[in-house]
Amino acid sequence: MASPIRHTSLGLNSCQSVLRRPIRTTTPILMGRRSAKIAQRKGKSDAKKAKLYGRFGKQIQQAVRSGGAGTDNARLQDILRQAKLVSVPNDIIERNIKKANDSKSVAEFNEAIYEAYGPGGTAFVIECLTDNPNRTSSDVKTAVTKGGGKWADSGSVLFNFQRQGVVRVNKGISEEKIFDLAIEAGADDVQPAEDGDGMPDGYRVISSLESFGEVRAALTDAGVDVSQEDSGLVWAPLATVEVDDQAFQENEALFERLMEVDDVDSVFSNCDGIEA
């Protein structure tokens, strides 16, 4: 009689073990996927921040070479104020001022805009600040081609976009309040913003190119929680282009490939779902 009892007990424990396994393994898998998604989003945010800091570095060098490093250089002082708004580290600022003062360094930076077609009939605008236009043009063309895009002649894509200012406001303020403050500051429109999961995530305050600085300053002075790093001048599409899932992935890959080019500072697209 002892053997059947032991057999029943072992069978019960075995059954319990089988039932418990899905509970132990499901949660880590879901958590792993969520962690991977968060890590990917953070990686994109860090890359965007690095591009922003790099552009400020080049602008600082450009301003110092043209007007010196003194407080009487109005252009430099304006750039430094903007750099502090977006929390550019002091060591980056000081390093670029020193680099500009170095007589051995004679690089002059110039703005360049390139245009391209993406998969599914989309369009891309690529902004650069470069000390070597030939190198930059070659690198951008290579990225476009390898990314499945097509190089576009100057002006053939840009007419689908308009230059405007965007002040990114973090969540925590009512739509009515931010609308009133924005319009009073001189903004043109207020649009709800979404995070990477499509959930509400604050607002985008739209302004003209000329009034962007005043609008951002007014909202900041009013105590609004402005995401300075995500605010700036953009090329906004007049209309977005919807593509299928495969084409969207290809456009997203092209966007990321372009952002990996050293001289590229910003990339804009009219592909629905891709935001600079």
Kindly report, residue by residue over 201-241, the tens digit of the pLDDT.
899 999 999 999 999 999 999 999 999 889 999 999 999 99
CATH architecture, range 111-158+239-269: 2-Layer Sandwich (3.30)
In this structure, whether the domain defined by 161-237 belongs to CATH 1.10.10.10 is answered with: no
Rounded distance between C-alpha atoms, residue 108 and residue 198, angstroms: 42
Give yes or no for a contact between 236 and 266, defined as CB atoms under 8 angstroms apart. Answer: no
> Are the folds of 111-158+239-269 and 161-237 the same?
yes
DSSP 8-state code for residue 224: -
* Domain coordinates in residue numbering, the chain: 50-101, 111-158+239-269, 161-237
CATH number for the region 50-101 comes to 1.10.10
- H or E stretch at 128: strand 122-130
Kindly report, residue by residue over 156-178, the tens digit of the pLDDT.
999 999 999 999 999 999 999 99
Mean pLDDT of the chain: 84
Q: Angle 245-259/2-67 helices, nearest 10 degrees?
A: 50
pLDDT of residue 25: 45
pTM of the entire predicted model: 0.76
Rounded distance between C-alpha atoms, residue 29 and residue 85, angstroms: 40
Q: Check whether 91 has a pLDDT greater than 60.
A: yes
Sheet holding 232-237, edge to edge: 189-194, 200-207, 161-169, 232-237
Rounded distance between C-alpha atoms, residue 92 and residue 52, angstroms: 12
